[in-house]
Structure 1
Amino acid sequence: MTRFRFALSLVLVFIMVPLIAVLRSPATATETGQAAPARSFEFTYQVHVPANADPAGPTHLWIPLPQADDYQDVCGLHIDSLMSHVQGHDPEYGNAFAAFTPTMQQSAAGFDVRLQFTAVRREHKVALESAALQNAATPAPRDANLQRYLEPDKLVPLNGAIADLAREHTAGDATPIQKARHIYDYVLATMRYDKSGEG
Structure 2
Amino acid sequence: MARTGRRPGQTQTKEDILAAARNQFAARGYGGATIRGIAAEAGVNPALVHHYFGSKDQVFVAALNLPFNPSALVETILDGPRERAGERVVRLFLGLWREPETRAPFLALLRSVATSPEVARQLRTFLETAVLTKMAAALDLPLLRLTAAASQMLGLAMVRYVLSAEPMASATDDEVVDLIGPVIQGYLTP
In the superposition, the TM-score normalised over structure 1's length comes to: 0.22
Bigger strand fraction? 1
In the superposition, the TM-score normalised over structure 2's length comes to: 0.22
- Structure with larger Rg: 1
